[in-house]
């Protein structure tokens, strides 16, 4: 493998786990429960990766602040009723294992809550591979650079030796704001055309291409 980066940070939903459709479905169902206008799929996909409060603020602009707790409760009800069915993208377990075996630091920067990430890591079998993680309920939400800055500080890695891998513009903008390279994946929440408008060191279209890019360039 190439040895360009000492720390590789991954987004979770839509990058490692095939969960974007489930997130959209849960958001739409929660709106339906509360009698609110349902967001379009495009609008719902756009907010994936943000912290839940920020995501709801953008996806459901008519939602009154007093109703946020109820909306969050309904969203979590619908999402958690299906999260045991979610799977990693093909080849992800092998890819992460290979990277871990090469001696890199591996991290996660996600819009999930800490409890949500803990469930996902345990369910997926990836928990043992990551050295440090940051979640939206304990840090500034993307595209603020805090998640990456804290991960780099914790692991003692400079921006020039860090790579952020994600499926949304929020991930690539966070990478830019933190002064690190960003690699876009176009098989998750945001379409390729949108990702192409952001600066990145590469853009891959399948999980297999992601594994190959990391092996040859990271």
Task: Output the domain CATH number for residue 27.
Answer: 1.10.150
Question: What integer is the mean pLDDT of 172-179?
Answer: 98
Instruction: Single out the residue in 84, 111, 128 at which a domain terminates.
Output: 84
In a domain, 1, yes or no: no
> Is the domain of 140 the same as that of 160?
yes
Active-site residue, from 6, 11, 83, 181: 11
Instruction: Single out the residue in 84, 111, 139 at which a domain terminates.
Output: 84
* Burial per residue of 138-173, b for 16 or more beta-carbon CB atoms within 10 angstroms, e otherwise: ebbbbbbbbbbbbbbeebebeeebbbbbbbbbbbbb
Model confidence at 206, pLDDT cuts 50, 70, 90, reads: very high
33 a catalytic residue: no
Active-site residue, from 6, 13, 153, 171: 13
> Is the domain of 97 the same as that of 171?
yes
- Can you give the residue range of the structural domain that contains 49? 20-84
> Is the domain of 13 the same as that of 98?
yes
> Is the domain of 106 the same as that of 171?
yes
> Is the domain of 15 the same as that of 101?
yes
Q: Which of 61-75, 141-155, 163-177 has the lowest mean pLDDT?
A: 61-75
11 a catalytic residue: yes
In a domain, 124, yes or no: yes
C-alpha 130/C-alpha 107 separation (Å) is 5
| 64-122: pLDDT as tens digits | 888 888 998 999 899 988 888 899 999 999 999 999 999 999 999 999 999 999 999 99
Tokens at 161, concatenated: 């030796």
Number of domains in the chain: 2
Q: Which of 15-24, 58-67, 101-110, 159-168 has the lowest mean pLDDT?
A: 58-67
In a domain, 2, yes or no: no
> Is the domain of 198 the same as that of 212?
yes
> Is the domain of 111 the same as that of 151?
yes
> Are the CB atoms for 4 and 101 separated by under 8 Å?
no
How far is the first Cα of the chain from the last one, in angstroms, to the nearest whole number? 7
Position 163 scores a pLDDT of: 98
What pTM does this model have? 0.91
Which CA distances in Å does 33 have to 37, 44, 45, 197, 212?
10, 16, 19, 36, 43
């Amino acid at each position: 493998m190439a040895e360009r980066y000492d720390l590789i940070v991954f987004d979770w939903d839509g990058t490692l786990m095939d969960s974007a459709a489930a997130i959209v479905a849960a958001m739409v169902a929660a709106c339906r429960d509360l009698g609110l206008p349902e967001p379009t799929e495009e609008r719902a996909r756009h907010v994936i990766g943000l912290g839940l409060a920020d995501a709801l603020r953008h996806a459901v602009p008519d939602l009154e602040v007093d109703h946020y707790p109820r909306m969050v409760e309904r969203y979590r009800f619908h999402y958690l009723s299906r999260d045991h069915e979610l799977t990693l993208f093909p080849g992800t377990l092998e890819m992460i294992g290979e990277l871990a075996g090469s001696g890199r630091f591996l991290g996660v920067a996600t819009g999930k809550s800490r409890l949500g990430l803990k469930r996902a890591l345990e369910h997926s079998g990836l928990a043992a591979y990551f050295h440090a993680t940051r979640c939206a309920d304990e840090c500034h939400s993307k595209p603020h650079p805090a998640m990456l800055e804290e991960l780099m500080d914790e692991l003692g890695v400079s921006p020039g030796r860090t790579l952020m891998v994600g499926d949304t513009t929020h991930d690539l903008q966070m990478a830019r704001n933190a002064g690190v390279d960003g690699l876009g994946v176009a098989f998750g929440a945001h379409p390729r055309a949108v990702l192409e408008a952001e600066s990145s060191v590469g853009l891959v279209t399948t999980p297999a291409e992601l594994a190959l890019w990391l092996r040859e360039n990271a």
